[in-house]
Structure 1
Amino acid sequence: MRARLALLVAAVSVLTLIAFLVPLALLVRTVAQDRATVRATADAQSLVPVVGTADAPTIRLTVEQLAAESGRQVSVFLPDGTVLGAQAPRTPAVALAVRGQSLTGESAAGREVVIAVQGRADGTGVIRIVVPRQELTAGVTRAWLVLALLGVVLVLIGLAVADRLARTLVRPIGDLSAVSHRLANAELDARVTPAGPAELREVAGALNHLAGRIQVLLAQEREQVADLSHRLRTPLTALRLEAESLRDPDDAARIAAAADGLERAVTGLIQQARWRRGPTPGTAASDAAAIVADRVAFWSVLAEDTGRAVHLDLAPGPISVGVPADDLAAAVDALLGNVFAHTPDGTPFTVRLARDDGEVLLTVADEGPGMPSGAVRRGASAAGSTGLGLDIARRAAQAGGGRLELRSGPEGGAQVLLRLGPPTSLREA
């Protein structure tokens, strides 16, 4: 922006100076020519009394003396055809002067001043003085250089003033940009100091007000989520008591384990809602092999009840990924839950965990009807669910420096690929 403002001021300054300096330069040249012509005319007028009354030797002496003093070509044409002083041919201007007309004309040697002298007994004499072009332009070049230097100085002064003014605009805009980036990085306590013109101060105040409102709304949302999570503890306690009252020890242990897992998830939700800022993506680490094996074992009970064949292919662990254990477990649960929610009973599925070019690739594939396009959008679902499952997996992958990919299987069905990066410490190593 500073460069554009400087370019604009430079363009305006140059155009303004051209509009003034070009006519002024032409005027300087005209004045110099007129000044030289006036001096030559005055010298010629000084010869008029001598040419009109004196004899030829006196005229010759006076002409030679004037030519030596002025450095110009001085010629006197007498009526009898005699030329005194500088020998020169009779030019059309001299022919006109013989008829009694004094004038100034241009010639190849410069500007000639011709004066007719009447009153001689033998006729009309003519005085001719040639002003050389060097004299006509004397001082013009220096004056033009001074004007050009003055124009450059004025442009530089204009650029300096424009840069100073632009700085008063650019600096507040830069502060606004920096604070907006800090807000985008979840630094909600960032504020900008209003500065600059009134419009920028108004924008700064609006940005500060927006940041304050975001803080208030997020605090309210965290409190609401935390309150809702606390309310879930009561039915979880009741569910655990019901599990303890079951006669079958296996069923009681399975339901108690599910209740414990749900309670851990609720506890994590409360902690995340209470935290002002979450951990930096990629700094947490977990063993993907252990977590995937644990979650597949959990879902295998339901798979057995619904007649689904589970194919598990895990690379030997431990396999460290840059995703917290709770987030990775939630992502695996979301992917496996989608298989049970969107495929009919008896549909087999495969869970594969492997290393792939420095990444960890988790693949969940089924032989069901496939997945509609756009299913990864948050809140989008074609089966009446909340549509948050794939979004949970996507955010977990992004937190680990990876991504979520959806594909169709070679024989139909859906393939969900979760690419996870290593922890930050391993990346830097």
Structure 2
Amino acid sequence: MRRQITQLVAATTSIILLAFLLPAASLVARVAEARALDAAQAQLQFLTPSVGLDQREQVAANLIGMADELRAAVRWTDGAWLGDPADRDVPMPSGAERIESEDGILLLQPVQRADGSALVEVFVPADTLRAGVTRTWVVLAALGAVLLLLALVVADRLARTMTRPVTDLATTARRLGSGDLAARAVPSGPVEVRGVAAAVNRLAERIGELLDAEREGAADLAHRLRTPLTALRLDVEGLPEPQRERLLGDVDAVSRGIDEVISEARRSVREGIGAGCDATAVVGERVHFWSVLAEEEGRPLEVDLPAVPAPVRVSAPDLRAAVDALLGNVFAHTPEGTSMSVTVRAATAGGARLVVSDTGPGMPEDAVDRGRSGTGSTGLGLDIVRRTAEGSGGGLRITSSGSGTAVTMELGPPPA
């Protein structure tokens, strides 16, 4: 926008300058020509009475004192020229005459003497007609260039003043888009821009209020689950020893999940900005946790982790939840004995790639959509994985067929 404003001012100023300078240049040329012709007419008027009344010697003396830039000459009654004529063969005109050529302008004036007719000739060279014109044109061109440069400087400062509020507003919008809900625009500039900045600020505040309300709702719901869970734990503690330990472990796992939901719901959105973790360590920890169940169900589990850390732009709890969702889907939706593999590769440009694959019956292509599942589950697991990947600046890709499924998480690099 700044460039367009400057270009518009440059075009407008150029048109105005041309509209002024071209007529001025033409006027300068005409004034110079008129000045030279006036000087020639003055010489012609000075010589005419002298030729008509004075002797030949006096006329010759008068010619010597004429201006150097003009060529004056007199053809005497006997045909002899006094001075330096521009055209020796010019015919005698019947009256005052003006002859124009590429070399200049020739002024002729016949004079009657007692002994015959004489001719006064004054020649104005083309250089004299344009004397000072080129210099004046250069001055006008320099003046035009200075005015154009001054207009561009003023236009650039004006455009900067006009576009700075828009640039600041765009920066604020990008920060909000990246999840920084603390970003606020400073209303400045034209009235319209100030109105947009105020609207963006109100929108950011409203988004923050809605997110806080949603998180409070999730936390309240999780708190409500604790009461029946406590009652369930008391019932389990009254069971015989073999079943009690196993069920107590399951109840504790559910309790830990509820605690994580409450903790996540209480966490401000801004805390997630710039969060990061080591994908190698987190994935290795979760694979170790699930490997016990894989061994019980006879599932061959192949793990390929890099020997060095793989930092990614995801908080450790979020990545744990995503890995648990992926591995939990394999256990829930494939038969026992189905082989599976987990691979982590550090990306060249930063971040990492996590691939969880199995040799099961496959899944529908729209399984990643929130709330959609062809197996009777809630369908939220892959949606959690997708949101985690996209929140890091990466993405989710699923390749599925009748011979197996491979889910690839592209995780972005941590902020610098």
Q: Smaller-chain TM-score range?
A: 0.7 to 0.9
Match for residue 258 of structure 1? 250
- Structure 1: gaps spanning 5 or more residues: none
TM-score by length of 2: 0.86
What is the aligned counterpart of 1:83 among 76, 81, 88?
81
What is the aligned counterpart of 2:101 among 96, 99, 107?
107
Distance 1:415 1:190, change over 3 A: closer
Distance 1:41 1:372, change over 3 A: same
Shift of 1:120: 2.4
C-alpha distance in structure 1 between counterparts of 2:243 and 2:410, whole Å: 35
What secondary structure is seen at the aligned counterpart in 1 of 2:117?
strand
C-alpha distance in structure 2 between counterparts of 1:421 and 1:124, whole Å: 106
C-alpha distance in structure 1 between counterparts of 2:12 and 2:175, whole Å: 38
Instruction: Tell me whether 1:394 sits opposite 2:386 in the alignment.
Output: yes
Shift of 1:356: 3.8
C-alpha distance in structure 2 between counterparts of 1:146 and 1:317, whole Å: 74
Distance 1:382 1:316, change over 3 A: closer
Instruction: Tell me whether 1:272 sits opposite 2:267 in the alignment.
Output: no
- Over the aligned positions, Cα root-mean-square deviation in angstroms equals 3.1
Instruction: Tell me whether 1:338 sits opposite 2:329 in the alignment.
Output: yes
Instruction: Tell me whether 1:19 sits opposite 2:10 in the alignment.
Output: no
Distance 1:321 1:386, change over 3 A: farther
What secondary structure is seen at the aligned counterpart in 1 of 2:50?
helix
Instruction: Tell me whether 1:202 sits opposite 2:195 in the alignment.
Output: yes
Instruction: Tell me whether 1:413 sits opposite 2:404 in the alignment.
Output: yes
Shift of 1:191: 2.0
Distance 1:319 1:19, change over 3 A: closer
**Aligned residue type for 2:290:** R
Shift of 1:196: 0.8
What secondary structure is seen at the aligned counterpart in 2 of 1:128?
strand
Does the CA-based 8 Å contact 2:396-2:408 persist in structure 1? yes
Percent of matched pairs sharing the same residue:
42
- Structure 2: gaps spanning 5 or more residues: none
379-388 vs 168-177, greater mean Cα deviation: 379-388
What secondary structure is seen at the aligned counterpart in 1 of 2:121?
strand
What is the aligned counterpart of 2:364 among 347, 360, 372?
372
Could you give the per-residue CA deviations for residues 221-277 of structure 1, whole angstroms, max 9, x where no partner exists? 111111111111122223323332333x44332322222112112111111111223
Does the CA-based 8 Å contact 1:287-1:321 persist in structure 2? no
Match for residue 54 of structure 2? 54
Query: How many positions carry a matched residue from both structures?
Result: 407
The within-5 A match list for 1:166-245 is 166-245=159-238
What is the aligned counterpart of 1:289 among 284, 290, 314?
284
Does the CA-based 8 Å contact 1:292-1:329 persist in structure 2? no
C-alpha distance in structure 2 between counterparts of 1:163 and 1:75, whole Å: 61
Match for residue 28 of structure 2? 28
Does the CA-based 8 Å contact 1:299-1:336 persist in structure 2? no
53-62 vs 150-159, greater mean Cα deviation: 53-62
**Aligned residue type for 2:234:** L
Could you give the per-residue CA deviations for residues 97-148 of structure 1, whole angstroms, max 9, x where no partner exists? x23231222235422111222x323443221111122221222122112211
Distance 1:114 1:387, change over 3 A: farther
Could you give the per-residue CA deviations for residues 199-221 of structure 1, whole angstroms, max 9, x where no partner exists? 11111111111111112111111
183-192 vs 312-321, greater mean Cα deviation: 312-321
